[in-house]
Amino acid sequence: MKSSHGAAEDGRSGFVLVSVLVILAMVSAILTTVILQARSGTALTQARADVLRLQGLADGIARFLAYDLTLQRTYRAVGLALPEDGTVVVCRLGPGRTAYVSLQDQGRLIDVNTTPRPVMEEAFRLLGVPDGATSAIAAEIVDYRDPDDVPEPNGGAEAPQYRARGLARGPRNAPFASPDEIERLPSMTPDIAALLKPVLTVYNEGGRFDLAALVGRVKPSVLPSLARSSGPTPSPRQYFLMRIAVESRHARAGRSALYAMGGSRTGTDFLIWQQTVAPAAGPSVEHPACRTIATALVDEATAPAAETAAKVRAGP
């Protein structure tokens, strides 16, 4: 039988053992957290480096396209000869990296600021806008962009007509800043907006476009019903919208840019330079230009990420 002193010693030993175990458990938990954080930080740094590298590739492709367009205009060269109607081209840049590239000549589209109302009405009808809405939407576009407060005949809308429809804002009475503003028109519906926005622009200053070519691309079934009294209308080739997305197995980055070559906005320069993350939508095709693009970017596409990762760790 143990004495009371021995029992007390055993109790203290037991307490010390439990305390040590608790401390060890706490230290183990802290070390585990630190290790997990370190691993997470390394993974995050690597992920950021991957995104930065892909962003650099997307930006490089956009600048390469702009350079090619300038060469074509200056020297009448064929250049990359990419589709200029918004078709998405898919390019393999190397192991695990794919680029989606689209180029849209704005001179092929309907300018909501400069296209005359009768031309818009004909184009909207052929593109599939319901007959009851065609005249009203074209009239509302004119009223939205013109400076006066007199409604266009047969369907126009100024401030009173907007209020009558329960809309808080009226027409801008100034040029459209973006085709997206058609969603504000009183007669516009989501279905019609989805149909029209891909064929609208604010960068076709002459207001003329090849209706047959546009209808033939968007709705070829009605092309036979379109009477042509003259040849194709050439594009002034002044503004080009580029959409580039580059993705790997674990990351994605992109660039949307509007490149100007003349026109009244500026000289030769990027007017819009926006970072995007989603790949270009729509069906994609392969193109011979992809080999040239990949070759131009091969050093960037195949270089190790160590330098980029170091820059990410250092911060901006």
Least confident of 72-86, 198-212, 275-289, 294-308: 294-308
| Cβ proximity of 133 and 192 under 8 Å | yes
Q: Please tell me the pTM assigned to this model.
A: 0.79
Q: Above 50 in pLDDT, residue 312? A: no
Distance of alpha carbon 251 from alpha carbon 271, whole angstroms: 27
pLDDT number for residue 156: 94
Half-sphere exposure of 56 (CA within 13 A, CB side): 16
Nearest-CA neighbor of 216 among 204, 206, 228?
Answer: 228
Distance of alpha carbon 296 from alpha carbon 293, whole angstroms: 5
pLDDT number for residue 310: 41
| Cβ proximity of 169 and 181 under 8 Å | no
Contacts for 114 with CB less than 8 Å, ≥ 6 apart: 204, 205, 206, 207
| Cβ proximity of 217 and 109 under 8 Å | no
Q: What residues are paired with 269 via a beta bridge?
A: 260
Q: Above 70 in pLDDT, residue 167? A: yes
Q: Above 50 in pLDDT, residue 67? A: yes
pLDDT digits (tens, 9 = 90+) for 222-263: 877 776 656 789 999 999 999 999 999 888 999 999 999 988
What average pLDDT does the segment 79-101 reach? 92
Distance of alpha carbon 197 from alpha carbon 217, whole angstroms: 15
Distance of alpha carbon 145 from alpha carbon 82, whole angstroms: 33
User: Domains along the chain?
Assistant: 57-108+234-314 (no CATH), 110-199 (1.10.40.60)
Confidence category of residue 313, pLDDT binned at 50, 70, 90: very low
pLDDT number for residue 219: 85
Q: Is 237 left (phi over 0), alpha (psi -120 to 50) or beta?
A: left
Q: Above 70 in pLDDT, residue 106? A: yes
